[in-house]
Amino acid sequence: MKQRQLSWPGCRANCWLIALLATLTVAEVAALPFLFTHLRPQINWTQLETQPWVVEEQPRSIEPHLELVPHPNRTKISASDASDAEFLQRLANQTATSRMLWNDAGGGDGLVYPPFVDRALRLLNLKQVAFEVENSLMSQVTCTACRAGAGMIQHQIQSGKTDADLIQMITDYCTNLNIQTARVCQGVAQLFGTELIYVLKRVNLSPDELCSFVIGDGCADVYNPYHEWEVIFPPVPKPPRLADLPIPMEAAPFFKVLHISDTHYDPHYAEGSNAECNEPLCCRLSSGRPATPNAAAGKWGDYRKCDTPKRTVDHMLAHIAETHKDIDYILWTGDLPPHDVWNQTKEENLAILKETVQQMVEKFPGVPIFPALGNHESAPVNSFPPPYVNQVDISISWLYDELDIQWRRWLPQSVTHTVRRGAFYSVLVRPGFRIISMNMNYCNNKNWWLLLNSTDPATELQWFIYELQSAEFSNEKVHVIGHIPPGHSDCLKVWSRNFYKIIARYESTITAQFYGHTHYDEFEMFYDPHDLNHPNSVAYIGPSVSPYYDLNPGYRIYYVDGDHDSTTRLVIDHESWIMNLKEANLYGYPIWYKLYTARAAYNMKALRPSDWNNLLNELTNNQELFELYYKYYWKNSPARPTCDAECKKRLICDCKSGRSHDRKHFCAEVESKIDQESSKSWKSWFYRGLTNSSEERTGDTATDGDNPFDLVIVNVGG
């Protein structure tokens, strides 16, 4: 049966602004928001929206949007705006200067700095900083770089440098220290620099506070009252929770759902171009000629830092349309443009949006598609000003208005107001079943605008609570979709903490969550904040279409409990499909195949939160099962690295942590178990090594009952 409705490394993209936030120090391109290339007029931060936005007065989708279509050949499967006003008024009244790491030592020309900075720039490992930012693996090295860079820019702002001077200084340092090529440095400085400088001029935060905000628990947990806030719940008692959710009925009607994420379509991909360029994105004519035949970009894509060619996107969509003819609806969780984030414009990103929407319409006519906004759709990347930033040249309306036009191909008119306000919406799919699409860029800690005021941007979470409470009153079940997973390190800690509380409060209403952004095939767990032994939700993180980088292209198919009297609306099972990129380039033709089915691969009786929690325990204790998970996590890529104990701890902890920057709270027990197993393995290896050494030295001298380890000690001691 069919049901119609209406209507995810991310931060991996590029990383030199924190590597520039380390010289200046200067950070990464994909991780920090881009800045416009022209100077902007002063914003009147006391000018609020002319019309106050009241959640309860907005239109709601109350008519089922998905029509049932029979599939006879289908086989069964076993804060509010007042807080903005208050903050902006306080901001306007501030006269104090920013707190600095140091005082102006000599006034200089901006290129001579205090000894601390000179030492920091010499000692910082900029390549490590770039790697950590690109892969969202922050350590003290990146934290130190961030503090030095933030303090440096604040120092220069306080000394009276113009925006043009600061941007040129960033460009020069980036180029002279070989952080990136000259054109990338110039593009990063122009795009990022303007916006970053603009925001830093208007906040009264120390480098410690800034970097704790951006990096999170990798940079200490600095308390900042300006960025501490709580959502408000209605005075409605939480329904009694069940000991465990029921297992969906076998052979019951279901929805077949396609999940596509992180396409990163590159219209400038060129087969045979240089795939080993020294820039964040390669495989373009502008990347130059390959130095060796092996450095040439493949026909269907490349494992190196290259995005998806048009022929690969077209082939995948044609394959899906032919192989999965009974798709009921599609989840499309964002990141459409490529990773050339130093070189993007609004016009080009809008063109990619329109082209990819048209592709989806043509390949899946009549199939409802539920989109979510990625962090790459904006230009500059990660730049999503809240609604109170409504001046024409910096407002985000250029994107949200076009999203409304394009998404309305699938979504009802009732979503227009929230899409144009904040790119989020709620749609009733079937009676008793609703999909809510969240704009996760308001939790993106690389969105510099949140430094001005992070309190529930666009009132999104308060609106989310209203939608969930209305759904609870109406006995509806809800699926939540978005781009950045709420437990990912790219999600702002205070936003993630509030979101986690919302999931816990409405655990009987929310039956699944779906995200992208990471490019990997994984999941995240949610628990009752007051009882970590009670898992209450699971977030499915779909694989990327883009091979960026070291990955095979992939997509997901979900089977969701459908329309019947006992429906749970839980995910019954899911499949991950991939294309082996190495073989496609070798033989000239791609073959898409099912990599695994979750329940069969992991021997799970169902996919309830409790079942996924049990799997996590198994992954911790069963190395063979973990290696299987690791293979699927990397989409069976031949370029995947080996995974040691630290890698294992990180991956399992990622699964445990639906709340960002709180790994100590969730992961201590898991890390202890893995450390114990690792210690045992090391001792066993050491023991075997000594035993073999003993036997080689003593020949047949050891008799029955002799302890080889004792012989080793004697031999070594002798």
Sign of the alpha-carbon dihedral angle for 33, 338, 424, 522 = negative
Please report, for residues 55, 61, 374, 422, 425, the alpha-carbon distance to residue 437 in angstroms, rounded to integers and kept in the order given: 16, 13, 11, 11, 5
Contacts of 40 (CB under 8 A, 6+ apart): 194, 198, 391, 393, 394
321 and 461 both lie in a single domain = yes
Least confident window among 22-36, 69-83, 391-405? 22-36
pLDDT at residue number 220: 75
**Residue at 235 is within a domain:** no
pLDDT at residue number 20: 52
> Is the pLDDT confidence value at 376 over 60?
yes
456 and 534 both lie in a single domain = yes
Q: Which residue has the tokens 């279901």?
A: 254
d(CA 602, CA 480): 24
**Residue at 359 is within a domain:** yes
d(CA 641, CA 619): 18
Least confident window among 115-119, 137-141, 229-233, 264-268? 115-119
pLDDT at residue number 602: 98
Q: Residue ranges of the alpha helices (H) in 366-508?
A: 397-407, 416-422, 460-473, 493-505
pLDDT at residue number 690: 53
CATH classification at residue 402: 3.60.21.10
**Residue at 103 is within a domain:** no
**Residue at 35 is within a domain:** no
pLDDT at residue number 455: 95
pLDDT at residue number 663: 82
Q: Between the CA atoms of 673, 675, 677 and 683, what dihedral angle is there, to the nearest 10 degrees?
A: -150
> Is the pLDDT confidence value at 35 over 90?
no
d(CA 296, CA 272): 5
pLDDT at residue number 541: 98
Q: Which residue has the tokens 């303090």?
A: 151
Burial category of 648 from C-beta neighbours within 10 Å (exposed 0-12, middle 13-18, buried 19 and up):
buried
128 and 265 both lie in a single domain = no
Contact yes or no for 331/514 (Cβ under 8 A): yes
List the beta bridge partners of residue 426: 436
170 and 262 both lie in a single domain = no
Model confidence pLDDT, tens digit, residues 261-295: 999 999 999 999 999 998 999 999 999 999 999 99
DSSP letters spanning 587-604 = HSS--EEEEEEHHHHHT-
Quote the domain boundaries for residue 450.
254-269+307-671
Contact yes or no for 477/434 (Cβ under 8 A): yes
Domain boundary among 629, 651, 671: 671
Please report, for residues 247, 258, 560, 598, 666, the alpha-carbon distance to residue 615 in angstroms, rounded to integers and kept in the order given: 16, 24, 20, 11, 16
Q: How far apart are the first and last CA of the chain?
A: 78
Which DSSP symbol is given to 259? Answer: E
d(CA 596, CA 594): 6
pLDDT at residue number 461: 98
pLDDT at residue number 129: 54
d(CA 4, CA 255): 9
196 and 330 both lie in a single domain = no
Strand-pair category, 531-541 with 26-28: unpaired
129 and 258 both lie in a single domain = no
**Residue at 231 is within a domain:** no
Which DSSP symbol is given to 376? Answer: T
- How confident is the model over 676-686, as a mean pLDDT? 61
More confident position, 369 or 391: 369
List the beta bridge partners of residue 128: none
CATH classification at residue 136: 1.10.225
Q: What is the largest CA-CA distance in the chain?
A: 93
**Residue at 52 is within a domain:** no
Q: Which helix (H) or strand (E) holds 355?
A: helix 346-363
d(CA 536, CA 242): 10
Q: How many other β-carbons are positioned within 10 Å of the β-carbon of residue 108?
A: 11
Model confidence pLDDT, tens digit, residues 203-260: 988 888 888 888 877 787 788 888 899 999 999 999 999 888 999 999 999 999 999 9
More confident position, 73 or 135: 73
Closest CA to 375 of 299, 482, 232, 303: 482
pLDDT at residue number 76: 63
**Residue list for the binding site:** 262, 264, 335, 375, 483, 517, 519
**Residue at 581 is within a domain:** yes
Model confidence pLDDT, tens digit, residues 157-211: 988 999 999 999 888 888 887 888 999 999 989 988 888 888 999 998 888 888 8
3-state SS, residue 429: strand
Token pair recorded at residue 313: 């996107």
Model confidence pLDDT, tens digit, residues 539-557: 999 999 999 999 999 999 9
Model confidence pLDDT, tens digit, residues 498-542: 999 999 999 999 999 999 999 999 999 999 999 999 999 999 999
Please report, for residues 29, 270, 351, 419, the alpha-carbon distance to residue 380 in angstroms, rounded to integers and kept in the order given: 9, 24, 15, 20
Contacts of 193 (CB under 8 A, 6+ apart): 35, 163, 166, 167, 170
Q: How many other β-carbons are positioned within 10 Å of the β-carbon of residue 203?
A: 18
312 and 207 both lie in a single domain = no
The band of 102, judged by pLDDT with boundaries at 50, 70 and 90, is very low
CA 122 centroid distance within chain: 32
d(CA 27, CA 170): 10
Q: Residue ranges of the alpha helices (H) in 491-554?
A: 493-505
**Residue at 657 is within a domain:** yes
Q: What angle do CA 492, 495, 496 make, to 5 degrees?
A: 80
> Is the pLDDT confidence value at 303 over 90?
yes
146 and 258 both lie in a single domain = no
d(CA 456, CA 59): 20
More confident position, 59 or 528: 528
314 and 204 both lie in a single domain = no
Residue 588 phi/psi, 5° resolution?
A: 85, 5
**Residue list for the binding site for Zn(2+):** 262, 264, 335, 375, 483, 517, 519
258 and 167 both lie in a single domain = no
> Is the pLDDT confidence value at 83 over 90?
no
pLDDT at residue number 611: 98
Please report, for residues 298, 594, 675, the alpha-carbon distance to residue 128 in angstroms, rounded to integers and kept in the order given: 28, 36, 25
The band of 594, judged by pLDDT with boundaries at 50, 70 and 90, is very high
pLDDT at residue number 198: 87
User: Mean pLDDT of all residues in the chain?
Assistant: 83
d(CA 208, CA 588): 52
- How confident is the model over 584-607, as a mean pLDDT? 97
208 and 320 both lie in a single domain = no
Which DSSP symbol is given to 194? Answer: H
pLDDT at residue number 124: 52
d(CA 343, CA 180): 13
520 and 591 both lie in a single domain = yes
The band of 80, judged by pLDDT with boundaries at 50, 70 and 90, is very low
Domain count, the chain: 2
